[in-house]
Amino acid sequence: MSSTSPTRSITPAIDHVHIELGERSYPILIGHGPSLWQQAQQHFPKGTSALIVTNTTVAPLYAQALRERLQAHYPVIHEVVLPDGEQYKDWQTLNLIFDALLGHGADRKAVLFALGGGVIGDMTGFAAASYMRGVPFVQVPTTLLAQVDSSVGGKTAINHPLGKNMIGAFYQPRLVVCDIDTLQTLPPEQLSAGLAEVIKYGPIYDMAFFAWLEQHVADLRAQQPDALRHAIRRSCEIKAAVVSADETESGLREILNFGHTFGHAIEAGMGYGAWLHGHAVAAGMVQASRLSHLLGHLPDDSFTRRLVQLLQQAGLPVQSPRIDPQRNTARYLELMRVDKKSQGGAIRYVVLKEPGKAITEKVDDATVIPLLDAIGRVTI
């Protein structure tokens, strides 16, 4: 796919990405200020009531403003404030949304608004998918990670005590509104964590975007609006192109998990919450890039070095941590096998055929072991 000229794309105040999924198509609007919301309102689903679903962190910051923006469109607006955190992404918390809907007598013309990060988006989406077998919902992601990743693709879920995201639905929002003003309250490490997923889209799909990121990474960390808008738009476009071709995750979509097999092992191995997801993915992408070289796809380590430099400039870790003092390599392999649900045999990784093009490939442990053995011993 060809790159987009940053000059052209930065000109308009509001960016618009169309997610083409037939009758389930929807727009993503990216921008800030009154003009963003004027456009957004034109896409609000019709309904007899609205329910804002948010959490205790986001509610005091943005719930009132959203409520005012909904007022002209829905006769009744309610709000449910969930506890904040991945540990609440469970049935009990989901049920608070159903309790609110039923308590307010909401019918099938209720519209849900997910105001928050990925957890709020996932839970609100699954509630919308299931309430009376499906009501419309709108994503208003307030973290960079949610804006570039979890609000596109229609994956909704809650966790089960025996596994993450085990219970859910493929269910598309009617509209996604990425208001970059909401990023101003995001802690810097969370902004960096979001940048990891932004950077990911370069090696898997679009090296011109990667080059643009190399030039603008400082602007992004400084929250320069035009730069943010372009980065979010291009990320959504790439994710959309991949997801449109594979809505229910049969194959192609796997390339979006570049760096995630190593990353998930880091998250699980360090104990959930110790490493931010985006940080683990950053270190994981470095490993996946090295593996691509070991497999003979990349001729040398020049791309890995570019990747390391950009990740560092984005404030992200590039070294994988030791997750077990005695048997670090074996533990990584165990966790990666669990992540991939491989019963045995070679694990399937997302690797780079070349910079800008990812593929999946089964790789023998013997090829991966040297990378894992080097953890904690090699400096970059």
Q: Out of 4, 76, 79, 168, which residue is the one contacting a second copy (CB under 8 A)?
A: 168
155 contacts a second copy (rule: CB under 8 A): yes
Residue corresponding to tokens 């804002």: 52
Rounded to an integer, what distance in angstroms lies between the CA atom of residue 372 and that of residue 337? 14
133 contacts a second copy (rule: CB under 8 A): yes
Report whether 108 contacts 135 (CB < 8 A).
yes
Q: 347: left (phi > 0), else alpha (psi -120 to 50), else beta?
A: beta
Residue corresponding to tokens 């890995």: 304
Q: What is the DSSP letter of 369?
A: H
Rounded to a whole number of angstroms, the minimum distance from the CB of residue 245 to a second copy is 16
Rounded to a whole number of angstroms, the minimum distance from the CB of residue 221 to a second copy is 34
99 contacts a second copy (rule: CB under 8 A): yes
Instruction: Find out whether 279 is annotated in a ligand binding site.
Output: no
Whether 159 is a known active-site residue: answer no
Secondary structure (3-state) at 266 = helix
Stretch that binds a second copy, among 132-140, 172-180, 282-290, 328-336 (CB under 8 A): 132-140
Instruction: Find out whether 118 is annotated in a ligand binding site.
Output: yes
Question: Nearest 5°: phi and psi at 26?
Answer: -155, 160
Whether 257 is a known active-site residue: answer yes
**Whole-number Cα distances in Å, 324 to 13, 123, 143, 370:** 49, 33, 32, 16
Nearest 5°: the CA angle 283, 151, 160 is 75
Whether 253 is a known active-site residue: answer yes
Whether 267 is a known active-site residue: answer no
Rounded to an integer, what distance in angstroms lies between the CA atom of residue 199 and that of residue 102? 42
Q: To the nearest 10°, report the CA torsion of 352, 228, 11, 61.
A: 150
167 contacts a second copy (rule: CB under 8 A): yes
Rounded to an integer, what distance in angstroms lies between the CA atom of residue 364 and that of residue 348? 9
Whether 306 is a known active-site residue: answer no
Q: Out of 3, 57, 79, 91, which residue is the one contacting a second copy (CB under 8 A)?
A: 91
Stretch that binds a second copy, among 95-103, 215-223, 252-260, 310-318 (CB under 8 A): 95-103
DSSP 288-319: HHHHHHHTTSSSSSHHHHHHHHHHHHTT---S
Give exposure, 325-345, as e/b (b: 16+ Cβ within 10 Å). Answer: eeebbebbbebbbebbeeeee
Stretch that binds a second copy, among 163-171, 225-233, 325-333, 370-378 (CB under 8 A): 163-171
Give 129 or 217: the residue with its C-beta nearer to a second copy.
129
Q: Out of 7, 42, 248, 326, which residue is the one contacting a second copy (CB under 8 A)?
A: 248
134 contacts a second copy (rule: CB under 8 A): yes
Rounded to an integer, what distance in angstroms lies between the CA atom of residue 196 and that of residue 283? 9
Stretch that binds a second copy, among 93-101, 111-119, 199-207, 273-281 (CB under 8 A): 93-101
Q: Out of 2, 8, 22, 162, which residue is the one contacting a second copy (CB under 8 A)?
A: 162
Instruction: Find out whether 183 is annotated in a ligand binding site.
Output: yes
Q: 273: left (phi > 0), else alpha (psi -120 to 50), else beta?
A: left
Q: What residue ranges bind a second copy (CB under 8 A)?
A: 91, 95, 98-99, 102-103, 107, 129-134, 155-157, 160, 162-163, 166-170, 248-249, 341
Residues catalogued as catalytic:
133, 155, 197, 239, 249, 253, 257, 260, 264, 277
**Residues at the annotated binding site for NAD(+)?**
84-89, 118-122, 142-143, 155, 164, 182-185
**Residues at the annotated binding site?**
84-89, 118-122, 142-143, 155, 164, 182-185, 197, 260, 277
